[in-house]
Amino acid sequence: EADIYQTPRYLVIGTGKKITLECSQTMGHDKMYWYQQDPGMELHLIHYSYGVNSTEKGDLSSESTVSRIRTEHFPLTLESARPSHTSQYLCASSETHVEPYGYTFGSGTRLTVV
């Protein structure tokens, strides 16, 4: 049973639309992450958060933004979607005080911008 939830699972949207990908976790994890993954390619970190009101950009340049107003919620927003944003977006969270601090991933949102 998943403890980290992403919605929607699939999304097809037109160019120029604003979209928000939702991610929520019920494990009380302080750290949360957004990764982008294209088919057959590695996961690229686009945003992360170490706690409420903490957000940082990752290694991959992204036109998206994130917010962390509550511990359990870490939404990702695209102000104006473009076809280049077509990809799978994976949200993850991790333990702070218990080794090995591994990630728990959500099921992902597969985004197609037409």
Question: Closer CB to other proteins, residue 62 or residue 106?
Answer: 106
| CA gap 75, 33 in Å, rounded | 10
Question: Closer CB to other proteins, residue 78 or residue 91?
Answer: 91
Least separation in angstroms between residue 12's CB and other proteins is 16
13, 22, 45, 86: which one contacts other proteins (CB under 8 A)? 45
Structure tokens at 78: 């695209």
Interface positions, 54-73, toward other proteins (CB under 8 A): 56, 58-59
Residue 62 DSSP one-character state? -
| Nearest by Cα to 34 from 42, 23, 18, 25 | 23
